[in-house]
Amino acid sequence: MNLPISNNLPVQKLASVFGSTVATYKYYWLIAIIELVEEGNIEIQKRKIFSRMVSNSWYTINYFHISFGKQDNLQIAVETIRKEEGLTIDEKKNNIDFSLENSINQKTINQLLHFDKNVPHWFLSPWFPQKNKTEIYQLSKSFQNDSLYGLHKDFIEVNPIWIAYLKSNAKIIKDYCYWNLALFLQTRNPNVPDIPNKLIKPALRNGLTKQTNEYWKLVFKELGSIDCIFTDTKLYFDEKNYALDHFVPHAFVSHNLIWNLLPIEKRFNSLKSDKLPLFEKHFDKFFNLQKLAFDINKQHNSKSKYMDEFLTIFPNIDTFEKDKFSSTIQPLITIASNNGFLYMNE
């Protein structure tokens, strides 16, 4: 993926910013600037940009538990600020921005201003190669070398010659940042699925009504009730004392495939949140319920689109093999745990 070309601007310098990247801050710094320029800002307070960096990475770090690297200051800042400000893991972006821009908590302020030590001037290195921090600040003030912005103590000033380019190509530039960010994070999370879709909080998570009515309803009808594999509570379709949930948390797998869904007690579901099941304790019950549901649907609803979703596990869905199912589920749970997801007993 490439940035849009320009006959008048050194776009190659902007592209080269990501040439040697050891942390995530460059991606989030540029994304924040683009957002604020779109909103009509030219002189932008650094704290406002730092706050956007945190809010834009918030969901990826707190909800999906994507690792940015042990030494990544942005991940450290996000985790520290969440505790200090008492914000939720899925807090709305606008609420995070407002809290951080107006917080009087000194620990929060220190985390934000820590980025000022390196981020603003090193981002401009392609425009000012082999220059130190003091030199970059001085040269950028007059937009030497057509730099993207000029640096001041508490704010940056976007170079007027860049504004039209940034506004007209805002979506493409942000996509370019996220594309490079996805490649960067995939190398640090090689076994984590679907990194690109974990970089932005979805406007609304897809519900599971169709999976309930088009697959599990038939199982309830055939059996009369289903025992919750976690609490042994009898679940009834008409009483709706259940919730359809992900065995391996959605926050990790990032999909709603039928082989990872099962009805569980509604009260327990709210307590479980995104915690991991204990494989040795829960897998056998999970597998038995999945196989039973599969057999019922195969007999009465064999043309259902949900049957085909099992092909991601079994090359031939005529054979529902426990070993193959186990070899899919167990590694997912282990990797999720390694990425910071807690088990139910923690």
From 198, 230, 254, give the residue that closes a domain: 198
Residue 346 resides in a domain = no
In a shared domain, residues 261 and 290: yes
What is the model's pLDDT at position 112? 95
What is the model's pLDDT at position 346? 59
Residue 156 resides in a domain = yes
Question: Which one-letter amino acid corresponds to residue 76?
Answer: I
Residue 4 resides in a domain = no
What is the arithmetic mean of pLDDT over 85-92? Answer: 89
Lowest mean pLDDT among 27-31, 134-138, 202-206, 329-333: 202-206
In this prediction the pTM is 0.79
What is the arithmetic mean of pLDDT over 290-296? Answer: 93
Transcribe 284-345 into DSSP letters.
Answer: HHHHHHHHHHHHHHHHH-TT-HHHHGGGGT-SSTT---HHHHHHHHHHHHHHHHHTTPPBTT
What is the model's pLDDT at position 291? 93
What is the model's pLDDT at position 124? 96
In a shared domain, residues 17 and 129: yes
Tokens of 61: 């770090």
Higher pLDDT, 22 or 342: 342
Tokens of 321: 């093999």
In a shared domain, residues 126 and 214: no
Residue 1 resides in a domain = no
What is the model's pLDDT at position 114? 94
Q: Would you place residue 203 in the very low, low, confident or very high pLDDT band (cuts 50, 70, 90)? A: low
Residue 100 resides in a domain = yes
Helices assigned H by DSSP within 63-125 = 73-85, 93-102, 106-113, 119-122
Residue with token string 């007993």: 345
Residue 182 resides in a domain = yes
What is the model's pLDDT at position 223? 95
In a shared domain, residues 37 and 168: yes
Residue 328 resides in a domain = yes
Q: Would you place residue 18 in the very low, low, confident or very high pLDDT band (cuts 50, 70, 90)? A: confident
Is residue 95 a contact partner of residue 107, using CB atoms and an 8 Å limit?
Answer: no
11 pLDDT higher than 80 = yes
The per-residue pLDDT for range 245-266, each reduced to its tens digit, is 999 998 888 889 999 999 999 9
CB count in 10 Å sphere of residue 53:
26
What is the model's pLDDT at position 194? 87
In a shared domain, residues 145 and 22: yes
Residue 343 resides in a domain = no
In a shared domain, residues 63 and 189: yes
Q: Would you place residue 271 in the very low, low, confident or very high pLDDT band (cuts 50, 70, 90)? A: confident
Nearest alpha carbon to residue 45 among 153, 172, 143, 193? 153
Q: Considering its fold, how many domains does the chain have in total?
A: 2
Higher pLDDT, 22 or 121: 121
In a shared domain, residues 159 and 21: yes
In a shared domain, residues 217 and 309: yes
In a shared domain, residues 64 and 137: yes
The per-residue pLDDT for range 168-190, each reduced to its tens digit, is 999 999 999 999 999 999 988 98
* Mean residue pLDDT across the chain: 91
From 139, 173, 198, give the residue that closes a domain: 198
What is the model's pLDDT at position 159? 97
Structural domain for 264, as ranges: 209-338
In a shared domain, residues 17 and 145: yes
- Give the Cα-Cα-Cα angle 54, 15, 52 (nearest 5 degrees): 15
In a shared domain, residues 276 and 309: yes
In a shared domain, residues 147 and 252: no
From 171, 198, 225, give the residue that closes a domain: 198
237 pLDDT higher than 90 = yes
Lowest mean pLDDT among 71-75, 78-82, 153-157: 71-75
